[in-house]
Amino acid sequence: AQSVSQHNHHVILSEAASLELGCNYSYGGTVNLFWYVQYPGQHLQLLLKYFSGDPLVKGIKGFEAEFIKSKFSFNLRKPSVQWSDTAEYFCAVNAQAGGSYIPTFGRGTSLIVHP
């Protein structure tokens, strides 16, 4: 069975600092990769996704992530965070199983950005 590891459980930054959240997965087959964000009191929503092509993907609000197949990683980055980026961030992997894709989430990273 596949698994997803998020290395940073709690991150505290000041505004304008750079952000990188690590995500590694274990699955040797075809995967789709996602980062989701959950702002306080809101639903989980998609931040960005990768399924093929350019391994550097750009999402909403200036976030980007790079898929490194050889390292089974999909790290999330943002060059300059804002107070409004305070949220929970979840990495997720959809692993192909037969004709379907089965999702697995990491445990999440809580990001607090101080103004």
Partner 1 sequence: EAGVAQSPRYKIIEKRQSVAFWCNPISGHATLYWYQQILGQGPKLLIQFQNNGVVDDSQLPKDRFSAERLKGVDSTLKIQPAKLEDSAVYLCASSFKRLGFYEQYFGPGTRLTVT
Interface contacts to partner 1, rule CB under 8 A: 1, 4, 6, 32, 34, 36, 43-46, 49, 51-52, 90, 92, 94, 97, 100-108
For the bound state, the minimum distance from the C-beta of residue 10 to partner 1, rounded and expressed in Å, comes to 10
Query: CA-based Rg of the chain, rounded to a whole angstrom?
Result: 14
Which CB sits closer to partner 1, 17 or 49? 49
What are phi and psi for residue 69, nearest 5 degrees? -60, -40
In angstroms, what is the minimal distance from the CB of 61 to partner 1? 17
Quote the least distance from Cβ 80 to partner 1, whole Å. 26
Please enumerate, as own/partner, the contacts of 4-7 that have beta carbons within 8 Å and a separation of 24 or more. 4/91, 4/92, 4/93, 4/104, 4/105, 4/106, 5/106, 6/89, 6/90, 6/91, 6/106, 6/107, 6/108, 6/109
Nearer to partner 1 among residue 16 and residue 102 (C-beta)? 102
Q: Output 12 or 16, the one with its CB closest to partner 1.
A: 12
Please, which residue, 16 or 112, has the CB nearer to partner 1? 112
Length of the chain: 115
- Least separation in angstroms between residue 107's CB and partner 1 is 5
